[in-house]
Amino acid sequence: MESGVIPIEDLAGGMHLGYTLESGQSYCWRRRDGAMYEQSDPPASVWYETVVDGEYVAVRQRDGELEWESTTDAVPILRRLLRLDDDLDRIAETFPSDPVVRDAFQAYRGMRLVRDPVFPCLISFICSTQMRVPRIHGMQCRLAETFGPQLEVDGRQINGFPSPGTLAAVSEAELRELNLGYRAPYVRETAAQVRDGLDPAAAGELPYPEARSHLMQFHGVGPKVADCVLLFGLGFTQAVPLDTWIRQAIGTHFPECECGTYEETSAAIRERLGGAYAGYAQTYVFHYLRQRA
């Protein structure tokens, strides 16, 4: 097992690991203590762990640094997954000066977007429809524990996320037994599409509108889920998923952006939130409103 630290002072705009991983944007990490996605503020010094490309990665934040343990050098992996190269203050300069956005940024200072591995990201947001955050997380945990590849780390069994082929071979009934509900056939069909060669990562090479259309080919993926995958998995920081929370924020704070259709409202709010990093602003506002509800 390798280990190391990354000083927070090296990260422009700071870092808050708990907000980053428990704000409902990533379902690819688990707390080592078992608990996760509580409504209250996550405690400090908690270990979070995941499996990426067969490698175990664990990270926690304390005393001004990120401390990590891994079966490999986790620094480049963490840089990518936690977007450690983002300059948060420079990004915030692109935000509009509206009180909601500014208050949200101040309240959750150090929260970064994630860049989840695209397949688990895709499946997790297909599972997210009409569902609360803790239950989405529970579904991803059960998928990994039931069908994912096992890894032994310090005598403990850790499961990675199942491959598209594995998931496509699972019956709908087995998925329903994990309480995926009506999302079960969507998950199975999408896994089969990926297995058969439709690559969600290919969206990353396309311009934003085409990238979203590419993802909407997957069963169970509409415009909102596509925007989530673009934002939280493929680095499209301009994407603004129009969920119930952000729609409420639009109605209250940006009524001029309410244009009727998803496409038009999406374009208006992306412009209103500063363009290139509108999705970053959205993530702060989403978390801010959800925590205050």
Kindly state whether residue 42 participates in binding DNA, applying the rule CB under 7 A: no
C-alpha span between 126 and 121 (Å, rounded): 9
Kindly state whether residue 135 participates in binding DNA, applying the rule CB under 7 A: yes
Helix pair 223-232, 278-292: axis angle to 10 deg:
110
Kindly state whether residue 203 participates in binding DNA, applying the rule CB under 7 A: no
Give min distance, CB of 217 to DNA, in A.
9
Task: Give a three-class secondary structure readout of 24-39.
Answer: CCCCCCEECCCCCCCC
Among 13, 110, 204, 223, binds DNA (CB under 7 A): 223
Kindly state whether residue 40 participates in binding DNA, applying the rule CB under 7 A: no
- What's the chain's Rg over C-alpha atoms? 18
Report the residue number, 110 or 181, with the smaller CB distance to DNA: 181
C-alpha span between 268 and 123 (Å, rounded): 28
C-alpha span between 199 and 99 (Å, rounded): 40
- Please pick, among 224, 270, 272, 287, the residue that the annotation labels catalytic: 224
Active site residue 224: yes
Fill in the DSSP letter of residue 43: P
Report the residue number, 3 or 244, with the smaller CB distance to DNA: 244
Give min distance, CB of 284 to DNA, in A.
10
Per the CB < 8 A criterion, the answer to whether 167 and 149 are in contact is no
Among 221, 250, 269, 281, binds DNA (CB under 7 A): 221
Nearest in space to 194 (alpha carbons), one of 110, 121, 108, 274: 121
Kindly state whether residue 260 participates in binding DNA, applying the rule CB under 7 A: yes
Kindly state whether residue 22 participates in binding DNA, applying the rule CB under 7 A: no
Per the CB < 8 A criterion, the answer to whether 32 and 47 are in contact is yes
Kindly state whether residue 28 participates in binding DNA, applying the rule CB under 7 A: no
Catalytic residues: 224
- Residues within the interface to DNA (CB under 7 A): 23-25, 128-133, 135, 176, 179, 181-182, 186, 216, 218-226, 228, 241, 243-246, 260-261, 282-283, 286, 290
